[in-house]
Amino acid sequence: MKASLRKKKILECSKKEFSKNGFYKTQIADIAKAANISRATVYQYFNNKDEIYMTLLSEQLTKWKEMMKQNEIDVSKLTPAEYFSYQVRKTLKYFAGDRYISNIVLRVGIGIPKDIDKPVKHFEESILAVIIDELEKGIKSGFIKKEIDTEFISTLIAGAILRTSSYYFGPYKRKKPINIKQAADEITSIFGAGLFTQEGLSFTKK
């Protein structure tokens, strides 16, 4: 197996192990067993599980950012509510397409080593930054209420998306996966009344 493919396999297997057991309980031996390689082989690519974890989160964050930049439709034709729902839907699709990553983020506990804490916080803060940016754009356009606390609201929205993803799309889901578009529309409906101005709620595209 080529080095690049072996490294990719290690990361894929580690993602499943971290999702199942959490950062603390997952050991190099677990990852090596899952990848069907020796521990020595794992150490050829990574110094320790901390480095594996940080690499994993960094790659996933890059994938998410790239996906959020892409639009499958002309967003200029969407109403504020439709645009909000579309952005939520894209993030749900990202987590639905990768059953383990949201579970990894949610399983991080208090007291995690500082070096590991940084990429986790960066991952979460990057999601929050995107939501805050969208909210601020909405405020400037007059579609989002200017009096809202964007940091607080972005935390609520991100929490709703991550928890929904973990519960319905995760590897240990307790219910059948829900329809992503319907889920995004319902999240939009719940937050909409508190977010959108009257202009935003009544705005329609011709």
Could you tell me the domains of the chain?
50-202 (1.10.357.10)
Question: pLDDT digits over 2-11, tens only?
Answer: 888 999 999 9
Tell me the average pLDDT across 126-133. Answer: 89
What are the tens digits of pLDDT across the range 172-199?
656 676 889 999 999 999 998 899 998 8
Report the 3 state secondary structure along the chain: CCHHHHHHHHHHHHHHHHHHHHHHHCCHHHHHHHHCCCHHHHHHHCCCHHHHHHHHHHHHHHHHHHHHHCCCCCHHHCCHHHHHHHHHHHHHHHHHHCCCHHHHHHHCCCCCCHHHHHHHHHHHHHHHHHHHHHHHHHHHHCCECCCCCHHHHHHHHHHHHHHHHHHHHCCCCCCCCCCHHHHHHHHHHHHHHHHECHHHHHCCCC
- pTM check: above 0.85: no
Asked if the model's pLDDT at residue 111 lies above 50, the reply is no
